[in-house]
Amino acid sequence: MQKDMTDIQNPLHSIEEWEDDVLERYPEPGVTAKSKDAFRNYDNPERDTVREFYRMNHQYQTYDFVQQKKADFLRFNRRELRVWDAMEFLNTLVDDSDPDIELDQLQHLLQTAEAIRADGHPDWFVLTGFVHDMGKVLCLFGEPQWAVVGDTFPVGCRFSDKIVYPEFFEANPDSRDERYNTLYGIYEPGCGLNNVSLSWGHDEYMYQIMKDYLPEPALYMIRYHSFYSQHREQAYDHLMNDHDREMFEWVKKFNPYDLYSKSPTPPVLEALKPYYEGLIAKYLPEKIRL
């Protein structure tokens, strides 16, 4: 029987499944990594959804694909919403198939933000934790999972073997294109990440939405929080400049809150809503365009 196109484009049971895979690859320091069996217990365990996800991600995330997505989505012509309404819109992505945690998207973002707040960080840092994944609304605009989540990486130059499942890049046409398959590709040594295109997904989309409103460290956190081959493996130091390296200290500071703040105990939404509405009003416009 022919597979449904949705299943082909969206192999993950949940768009958060790749984050659990990241947790397995990069466990919290001092904590033993959970086994795969501890993360998931599906009826069809033989289906390696994460591998299939990255197979498509690595095959189709080409330089041209990224430029096409930017030209399309950075027109911001799909919706105009208040930030809180956008969060509730994001909540339609709640997935009942996730056996690890039953919290919806908004509750996960609140947990991240509340952990940051509890450690006494500035309020713009707290707001960053609250909005950093809001770009996942791309799924609600018909985008396949592999173009929304996943580890991000530069396109337009050689794919590093430090990226998860590097063997899947063999099917990417850029790996055979002389313009793109050298160490620097279309870039210059130390050109700075602002001059480098990364694979398309919720990180870049959300950065572009927020770039006029939040402090630069917050923008680095949002834009590069999935760029694991750099902030965990230093695979692209040759493209970074000194300013990138300074700002990446903020990215490294942010990631533990994103990865390790999940808890089965839901935040009390109504009690927290006035505080976060105040933060939104302080830093962001009344409505944002998506």
pLDDT at 89: 84
pLDDT at 22: 83
pLDDT at 101: 42
pLDDT at 46 over 50: no
Quote the tokens at residue 103.
Answer: 């919290």
* Percent helix, strand and coil across the chain, each to the nearest 5: 55, 0, 45
The secondary element (H helix, E strand) that includes residue 80 is strand 80-81
The mean pLDDT of 111-124, rounded to a whole number, is 96
Domain layout of the chain by residue ranges: 14-27+45-289
Task: Tell me the C-alpha distance between 53 and 74, whole Å.
Answer: 24
The mean pLDDT of 272-277, rounded to a whole number, is 95
pLDDT at 228: 95
The secondary element (H helix, E strand) that includes residue 288 is strand 288-289
**Least reliable range by pLDDT among 40-44, 83-87, 136-140:** 40-44
Confirm whether pTM is higher than 0.85.
Answer: yes
Task: Tell me the C-alpha distance between 187 and 197, whole Å.
Answer: 10
At residue 121, what are phi and psi to the nearest 5 degrees? -75, 165
pLDDT at 99 over 70: no
CA-CA-CA-CA dihedral for 221, 225, 227, 228, to nearest 10: 120
Cα dist from 85 to 54, 135, 139, 210, 288, whole Å: 31, 13, 16, 16, 10
CA angle 21, 59, 251 (to 5 degrees): 45
pLDDT in tens, 189-208: 999 999 999 999 999 999 99
pLDDT at 31: 54
pLDDT at 33 over 80: no
Banded pLDDT at 40 (limits 50, 70, 90): very low
pLDDT at 254 over 60: yes
Contact residues for 219 (Cβ-Cβ < 8 A; gap 6+)? 207, 210, 211
Cα dist from 269 to 95, 101, 203, 217, whole Å: 19, 17, 25, 27
Quote the tokens at residue 171.
Answer: 């099917």
pLDDT in tens, 229-244: 999 999 999 999 999 9
Tell me what percent of the residues of the chain surpass a pLDDT of 90: 69
pLDDT at 142: 92
pLDDT at 219 over 50: yes
